[in-house]
Amino acid sequence: MEKQIFYRVSNLETKQGLWYDFNGGFTGLIHNDFKFCANSTLEMDFDETIQGYLSTTDKLDTLFNWFTKDDILKLQDHNYFIHEYEALDYKFYDRFQHWLIHRDSSILTKRIILF
């Protein structure tokens, strides 16, 4: 596969997302701690076939379909930012209509801060 750039919202220190931690354990943070997010009621059921992969988008603009700019501005106050990754191991996940990158082989290249 060719190296490609992907984007996700994750914690600056732990790199965990809002539904699952970096190791794939369900946290449900978006349902409990971050109910202000536009997609806070969206369920992302566990799927063992994608264990080891992280949810992403292939375009920054597409990320705003999952998290509004207002969501991200508020999440930044809780140490969640847009992170840019380079990935060689990626695939499209039809069930939730987003891209997945393998957590172990993807490289975090940039933190994007909104103002």
Query: pLDDT over 70 for what percent of the chain?
Result: 100
pLDDT of residue 100: 98
Three-state SS for the chain is CCCEEEEEEEECCCCCCCCECCCCCECCHHHHCCCCCCCCCCCCCCCHHHCCEEEEECCHHHHHHHCCHHHHHHHHCCCEEEEEEEECCEEEECCCCEEEEECCCCEEEEEECCC
62-71 burial, b if ≥16 CB within 10 A, otherwise e?
ebbebbeeeb
Neighbouring residues of 46: CB distance < 8 A, sequence distance ≥ 6: 20, 24, 26
pLDDT of residue 3: 96
For residue 70, what pLDDT band results from cuts at 50, 70 and 90?
Answer: very high
pLDDT of residue 72: 98
pLDDT of 60 strictly over 90: yes
Is there a contact between 87 and 45 (Cβ–Cβ < 8 Å)?
no
For residue 115, what pLDDT band results from cuts at 50, 70 and 90?
Answer: very high
Residue range 45-74: average pLDDT? Answer: 96
